[in-house]
Amino acid sequence: MITQKEICGVVVWYNPTVDNVTAINTYLKDISHLFIVDNSTTDNSALINTLPNNKITYLPNLENLGIATALNIGCEAALNVNAKWILTMDQDSKFDRFSLADFIIEANQCPTFDKVGIFSPYHYCGETKRKKRERFQTVLTTMTSGNLLRAEAYRKCGRFRDDFFIDLVDDEYCCRLNRNSYTVVKTNQILLTHSLGNGFVRVSPLFQKTFIQHSALRHYYIVRNLLEVIRLYPEYKKYYSKQLRKRLKRYVLYDSDQKWTKMKYMYWGWRDYKKRRFGKINH
């Protein structure tokens, strides 16, 4: 059973704003402590002056070490204070329609509770329609933000992959959890407001389908890390190979924003994967 006093939060900052402090206020009251891991090149500790300092530890890296390393810093700090569950948050994600307390109550009613490595909310990204899904949905993977990660599972499965830097960090970790007999469960009645990329782009005036707009740099990490996930987890090769083909199709056929720059970064991602070159891009 999850209790508020057993939860530590980890939120990763990168050039944060006052809005990101407002987001923290939507869940701070429902956890025992929050670790803010800041990947900015400047100290942003002044932003937390309005928050209860007895519940917050600010950990500035003063450089961008990537989302994976920042999460590891926060998770290990949470383990050091004996957290049983770790709430992992993006800086712009917030509980508004539902509270974290609602999420905890819902997760505790999951019939497969003891097998769950991650409880995830439904990530609401601004879509106008939401498909009806079962209350508790076992999924292969989920986005990192808003998750309740079982500390025992983190100890067993190890750190997030530092050398992935940003993209597919969550997918790789969920695959690892599954391989270690933990499940990932999405609690579809709990919504978390979340931002993705640079917004949604409609593929054509004739179609209603949309896709997430990412920068050229993100395309590098997505392609490189997708290929590594396919290599590491052959049991999920079919799923991730399909994801890779869909991305290539979208950006070759439909993306008119910096198409050739993005294609170049995607090629670099493939090239560095083949050369076994990971970590932060050095181009």
Spatial separation of the C-alpha atoms in residues 223 and 167, rounded to whole Å: 9
Is 221:168 a contact under the CB 8 Å cutoff? Answer: yes
- Angle of helix 216-232 relative to helix 259-274, nearest 10 degrees, comes to 30
Nearest alpha-carbon partner for 55 in 90, 81, 88, 16? 81
Q: Which fold has domain 4-193?
A: Spore Coat Polysaccharide Biosynthesis Protein SpsA; Chain A (3.90.550)
Reading the block at residue 54, the tokens are 């007895």
Q: Could you give the C-alpha distances from 209 to 61, 89, 193, 195, 243, in angstroms and in order?
A: 39, 28, 21, 18, 16
What tens-digit pLDDT sequence spans the chain (283 residues)?
Answer: 999 999 999 999 999 999 999 999 999 999 999 999 999 999 999 999 888 878 999 999 999 999 999 999 999 999 999 999 999 999 999 998 889 999 999 999 999 999 999 999 999 876 656 667 899 999 999 999 999 999 999 999 999 999 999 999 999 999 999 999 999 999 999 999 876 655 545 555 555 556 666 788 999 999 999 999 999 999 999 999 999 998 888 777 776 677 788 889 999 999 999 999 999 998 6
| pLDDT score of 129 | 60
pLDDT score for 10: 98
Write down the domain spans for the chain: 4-193, 200-274
Look at residue 119 in the predicted model and tell me its pLDDT.
Answer: 98
The phi, psi pair for 39, rounded to 5°, reads -90, 10
Whether 218 contacts 160, CB under 8 Å: no
DSSP string, 168-230: THHHHHHHHHHHTT-EEEEEEEEEEE---TT-EEES-TT---EEE---HHHHHHHHHHHHHHH
Report which DSSP code applies to 283: -
Residue keyed to tokens 């009613």 = 109
pTM: 0.90
Q: Kind of pairing, strands 200-202 and 183-193?
A: unpaired
Which secondary structure element, helix H or strand E, spans residue 176, and what is its range?
Answer: helix 169-179
SS3 183: strand
Q: How much is the pLDDT for 252?
A: 72
What was the pLDDT predicted at 212? 67
